[in-house]
């Protein structure tokens, strides 16, 4: 495919003086990611001098106690210690405001607190780390006291995942918040977009000449996008049993990974340019035919089994249904919620016509790995019915790019073997930036390219919704796979052709079962 335009990158590194208002400040996300992330950004000099952080919580906590609590968050996160001067600077930026749900005037009081310009810069970014049912009411309450109006200053609102629980509720949420906010004020999170490895997909594809010419249906047999975890659902049984793998991972992180893998060259690297290209490809994905669902989607649940821990030890873990029963006073629940989900998708555009995209996610599989694996078509010369080429982009834990090619086995015979060109996308000395740190910085910079546009969220729901509904309605027992095993054999039903199979690892030989 020929390139007709050549986007340039214009970074938006400036940050206006602003106040970050963290709703749900005593919740897990704020304690483990947001506050430590802001501290790290401060330590490396990326926060503007005037920035203030106003944490908002339900409890009445005085400022000294809140600042002492922040210290416990940082102590827990940075076990090796941290710089005392950086800590002093950071702690002085932090304030607390109690917003008890019983107080009808809570938001007027919040407005009064924020109106003190001697403390709080008047550009406000609200981070809603609250229950999804509270997203719309919080926006409405902010709007009712005039805190969403942009006149002299900007107002931005971050909405955590999930943006709705299906297409209808996503539209409803959108309707409710756009009564008060413009699209440019809304920052919808998918934390995978804050990962450097995901941002690299677009760059690696388009800043190299050699990849683009083969990135299409002329050369590619199929694409596999995989996210597997060895972890189970843990304590989150209530959340998970109303969510499932399709909504939890595929509707969001995996479809975003697919969009970056399949999108066309954006007209530029501006937020609008990147998001327009992603929206376009997401909207070109063919709806899944629900009348033939079993050929296009497969679900399963983990049963008890043995999991290998990172330190090499093995642990016997309970199955999903046992965990659900454990948290349901020991009573069995006939849940059909999937912990493994695989789907076959087609993209109706000239680049991808006829190329299946197999996407899958699972909890409690044999390894934790996120990758894009691309299998190329058969080579013109067949010597020993050799393997087809693979190109693999490792997202996590290894950030790498690998290419498997054929090479002659030295010696007297004409035979080839597969060798792997293997390069690290991350070097040991590179910065490790948490996805939330990157996203917080983008928020303050007013750069929403790594946040979802509403049309991305809606396209993603439109695609998975019919499958979620069909699966929920089908009460037949769900296929079980032992924890620690690789893909259930039965999942093969979604492959288009006999010679397609799951690649189960990024290592050489990872295509052999």
Q: Which residues participate in catalysis according to the annotation?
A: 253
Q: Does residue 248 touch ligand BG6 according to CB under 6 A? A: yes
Q: C-beta of 48: minimal distance to ligand BG6 in Å?
A: 28
How many Cβ atoms sit within 10 Å of the Cβ of residue 281? 21
> Which 223-242 positions form the footprint of ligand BG6 (CB under 6 A)?
229
Distances in Å between the Cα of 248 and the Cα atoms of 255, 278, 344, 398, 485 are 11, 20, 18, 23, 21
CA 13, chain centre distance (Å): 23
Task: Tell me: does residue 338 bind ligand BG6 (CB under 6 A).
Answer: no
Q: Find the shortest distance in angstroms from Cβ 294 to ligand BG6.
A: 25
Q: Which residues contact 233 (CB under 8 A, 6 or more apart)?
A: 240, 320, 323, 339, 363
Query: Residue 341 CB, nearest distance to ligand BG6 (Å)?
Result: 12
CA angle at 291 for the pair 288 and 292, rounded to the nearest 5°? 70
# chain residues binding ligand BG6, by CB under 6 A: 3
DSSP assignment of 409-427: PSSSS--EEEEEEEEESS-
Candidates 369, 250, 319; CA nearest to 479 is 319
Extract the tokens encoding 69.
């609590």
Q: In angstroms, what is the minimal distance from the CB of 210 to ligand BG6?
A: 29
CA pair distance 399, 306, nearest whole angstrom: 27
CA distances from 433 to 9, 38, 274, 438, 440 (A): 21, 11, 22, 7, 11
In angstroms, rounded to a whole number, what is the distance separating the alpha carbons of residues 494 and 485? 19
Pick the closer one to ligand BG6 by CB: 248 or 387. 248
Complex with ligand BG6: residue 221 or 229, whichever CB lies closer: 229
User: Least distance in Å: CB of 89 to ligand BG6?
Assistant: 29
Tokens of 215: 């990135």
Write down the least CB distance from residue 44 to ligand BG6, Å: 21
Closest CB to ligand BG6 among 53 and 128?
Answer: 128
Q: Taking CB under 6 A as the rule, does residue 456 contact ligand BG6?
A: no
Q: For residues 162 and 271, which CB has a smaller minimum distance to ligand BG6 in the complex? A: 162
Subset of residues 83 to 102 that bind ligand BG6, contact rule: CB under 6 A = none
Give the residue among 414, 484, 238 at the shortest CA–CA distance from 337.
238
Q: Restricting to residues 114-173, which ones interact with ligand BG6 according to CB under 6 A?
A: 161
C-alpha 386/C-alpha 65 separation (Å) is 66
CB of 131 to ligand BG6, least distance (A): 14
d(CA 254, CA 359): 7
Minimum CB distance to ligand BG6, residue 457 (Å)? 14
Q: Six-digit token pair at 476? A: 């037949």
Least Å distance, CB 243 to ligand BG6, is 8
Torsions phi, psi for 321 (to 5 deg): -65, -30
Residue whose tokens read 């909890």? 363
Peptide bond into 92 cis (omega under 30): no
248/456 with CB nearer ligand BG6: 248
- Cβ proximity to ligand BG6: between 182 and 236 the closer is 236
Instruction: For ligand BG6, give the closer residue by CB, 181 or 342.
Output: 342
Complex with ligand BG6: residue 161 or 492, whichever CB lies closer: 161
Nearer to ligand BG6, 111 or 161 (CB): 161
Q: Among all residues, whose Cβ is closest to ligand BG6?
A: 248
User: Which residues inside 176-215 make contact with ligand BG6, applying CB under 6 A?
Assistant: none
* Positive or negative: CA dihedral 228, 487, 281, 425: positive
How distant is the alpha carbon of residue 172 from its chain centre? 22
Beta carbons within 8 Å of 484's beta carbon, 6+ residues apart: 230, 305, 306, 307, 308, 317, 364, 365, 366
Q: Residues interacting with ligand BG6, by CB under 6 A?
A: 161, 229, 248
């Amino acid at each position: 495919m020929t390139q007709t335009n050549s986007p340039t990158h214009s970074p938006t590194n400036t940050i206006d003086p602003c106040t970050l208002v963290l709703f749900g400040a005593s919740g897990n996300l704020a304690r483990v990611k947001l506050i430590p992330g802001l501290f790290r950004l401060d330590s490396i000099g990326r926060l503007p001098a005037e920035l203030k952080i106003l944490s908002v919580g339900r409890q009445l906590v005085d400022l000294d106690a809140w600042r002492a609590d922040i210290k416990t968050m940082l102590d827990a996160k940075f076990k090796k210690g941290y710089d005392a001067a950086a800590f002093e600077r950071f702690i002085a930026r932090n304030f607390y405001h109690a917003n008890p749900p019983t107080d009808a005037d809570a938001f007027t009081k919040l407005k009064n607190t924020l109106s003190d310009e001697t403390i709080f810069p008047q550009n406000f970014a609200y981070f809603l780390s609250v229950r999804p049912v509270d997203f719309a009411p919080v926006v409405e309450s902010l709007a009712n006291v005039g805190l969403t109006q942009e006149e002299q200053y900007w107002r931005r609102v971050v909405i955590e995942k999930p943006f709705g629980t299906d297409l209808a509720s996503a539209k409803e949420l959108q309707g409710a918040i756009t009564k008060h906010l413009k699209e440019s004020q809304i920052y919808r999170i998918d934390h995978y977009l804050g990962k450097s490895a995901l941002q690299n997909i677009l760059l690696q594809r388009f800043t190299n000449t050699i990849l683009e010419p083969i990135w299409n249906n002329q050369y590619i047999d199929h694409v596999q996008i995989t996210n597997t975890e060895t972890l189970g659902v843990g304590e989150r049984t209530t959340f998970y049993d109303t969510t499932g793998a399709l909504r939890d991972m595929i509707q969001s992180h995996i479809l975003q990974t697919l969009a970056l893998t399949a999108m066309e060259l954006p007209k530029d690297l501006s937020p609008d340019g990147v998001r327009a290209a992603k929206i376009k490809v997401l909207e070109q994905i063919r709806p899944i035919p629900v009348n033939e669902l079993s050929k296009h989607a497969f679900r399963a649940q983990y049963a008890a089994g043995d999991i290998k821990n990172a330190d090499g030890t093995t642990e016997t873990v309970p199955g999903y249904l046992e965990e659900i029963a454990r948290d349901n006073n020991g009573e069995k629940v006939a849940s059909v919620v999937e912990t493994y989900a695989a789907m076959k998708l087609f993209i109706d555009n000239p680049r991808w016509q006829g190329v299946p995209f197999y996407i899958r996610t699972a909890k409690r599989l044999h390894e934790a790995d996120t990758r894009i694996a691309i299998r190329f078509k058969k080579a013109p010369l067949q010597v020993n019915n050799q393997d087809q080429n693979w190109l693999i982009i490792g997202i996590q834990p290894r950030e790498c790019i690998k290419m498997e090619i054929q090479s002659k086995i030295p010696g007297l015979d004409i035979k080839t073997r597969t060798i792997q060109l293997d390069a690290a996308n991350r070097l040991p000395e590179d910065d490790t930036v948490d996805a939330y740190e990157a996203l917080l910085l983008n928020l303050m910079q007013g750069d929403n390219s790594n946040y979802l546009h509403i049309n991305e969220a809606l396209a993603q729901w439109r695609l998975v919704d019919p499958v979620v509904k069909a699966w929920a309605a089908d009460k037949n027992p769900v296929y079980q796979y032992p924890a620690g095993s690789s893909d259930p054999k039965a999942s093969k039903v979604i492959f288009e052709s006999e010679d397609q199979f799951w690649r189960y690892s990024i290592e050489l030989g990872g295509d052999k079962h």
